[in-house]
Chains A and B, each alone.
Chain A
Amino acid sequence: MKCPIETRESAEVLLAYCARKLDAARTGILEEHIRICPVCREFADAQRAVWEALDAWEAAPVSADFDRRLYRRIENEVGWLDLLLRPLRPWVARNALPIAAAVAVVLTAGVLLDRPAAAPPAPEESAQVESLQPEQVEKALDDMQVVREFHRLVRPDPGAPLM
């Protein structure tokens, strides 16, 4: 048999042996090996000592009132919800229809009020800029030229020659 101590994977066999979890056939083979291998014998003896030491560690018994305390906590949890809803129960039973109607009204109002507001109107300036066409600009310039000519004719420059 190959020495199990050589790899960690194989050492699991020794751990299983010390935990008494190895089947009879493998136990026999391993015990044969342990008899002739001092390293494995040392490992197995140390692991057995750990196992026995842990066996000696007994936990204290569970308190006698463990279940009572647990059930009280469970009852308290159920009780709180029950306590909160209990005063409302007869009133809810008597007024189920009006309550349902009121809830529906509130929900509808909420939906209506929660609608997104209408998009803000576009600024006036940008609308003007968008509506100006090149022909309009040209016409405005022509008009300004006419007005300028009119002014020159109505109030002629005293130094300028008359036409």
Chain B
Amino acid sequence: MGAAAAALDYDAELMLRVKEGDGASFGVLLDKHRSSVVHFLYRMVQNHAVAEELAQEVFLRVYRSRASYEPTAKFTTWLFRIATHLALNALRDTKHERSQEHLDDDTSEMPVRQISDSRPSIEQYMVYQARLAEIRQAIGTLPEKQRAAVLMHKYEEMEYSQIAKVLSCSESAVKSLLFRAYETLRARLAHMA
């Protein structure tokens, strides 16, 4: 049995215990997946407060669905399907409100990255922030499904087949989404090398 299959069994087993009324198992699932869900949602909607609110809704839906839960798919596939659905809805709901100013305003929420020294100079910090803004803008301008596919591929290290299940499309559609998305990102970010 591979690591993925073992992980499938473990998460599904935990969820089945939640179904039987074991609240502690829900805590274990929350501990295990909290960061990845919040970070995925943050990179999708590019607003930390909204991302946490959506992540709360994701785990609330998982908890609400415990009684009807059946381990028909990998737990993370189900989890990210809920997260992606909520993120896409949030993006559609706020499409008219989003602007470049909004993207730029959110940089204050970012952690200060330690570049080489433990205390980066103000110049290094400003260069880093400028690069981040560029990266976030490049990701932010991708069509929503391409964005979700890239984030799952890059940060969650999901296989094409799992991304396909999350996005409810074929594997070849995912490959096409990723190819187009990386093509756009190469055009916008290749100069950063």
Q: Judge if A51 is at the interface, Cβ distance under 8 Å.
A: yes
Interface residues on A, range: 20 to 34
- Could you tell me if A74 and B39 are in contact, using CB atoms closer than 8 angstroms? no
Among residues of A, the one whose C-beta sits closest to the C-beta of B31 is A67
Name the B residues within 8 Å of A77 (CB-CB). 60, 64
Name the A residues within 8 Å of B165 (CB-CB). none
* Total count of chain B residues near the partner, CB < 8 A: 43
- Could you tell me if B192 and A53 are in contact, using CB atoms closer than 8 angstroms? yes
Name the B residues within 8 Å of A59 (CB-CB). 38-39, 42-43
Among residues of A, the one whose C-beta sits closest to the C-beta of B53 is A69
Which of B39, B56, B136, B186 is close to A46, meaning CB atoms less than 8 Å apart?
A: B186
- Could you tell me if B193 and A57 are in contact, using CB atoms closer than 8 angstroms? no
Measured in the bound complex, the distance between the Cα atoms of B14 and A39 in whole Å is 49
- Could you tell me if A51 and B154 are in contact, using CB atoms closer than 8 angstroms? yes
- Could you tell me if A60 and B111 are in contact, using CB atoms closer than 8 angstroms? yes
Name the B residues within 8 Å of A74 (CB-CB). 60, 63
- Could you tell me if A60 and B182 are in contact, using CB atoms closer than 8 angstroms? no
Question: Binary interface profile of B, 143-177, with partner A (CB < 8 Å = 1, else 0)?
Answer: 00000001001110000000000000000000110
List CB contacts (< 8 Å) of A75-114 with chain B: 77
Measured in the bound complex, the distance between the Cα atoms of B128 and A77 in whole Å is 43
Name the B residues within 8 Å of A46 (CB-CB). 186, 190, 193
A interface residues (Cβ-Cβ under 8 A, vs B): 8-9, 11-12, 15, 19, 43, 45-54, 56-63, 66-67, 69-70, 73-74, 77
A-B contact pairs, 29 of them (CB 8 A): A11-B179, A12-B175, A15-B178, A19-B153, A43-B186, A45-B190, A46-B190, A47-B182, A49-B191, A49-B192, A50-B190, A53-B131, A53-B134, A53-B135, A56-B131, A57-B43, A57-B135, A58-B110, A59-B38, A60-B42, A60-B109, A60-B111, A61-B35, A62-B52, A66-B52, A67-B27, A67-B30, A70-B30, A70-B56
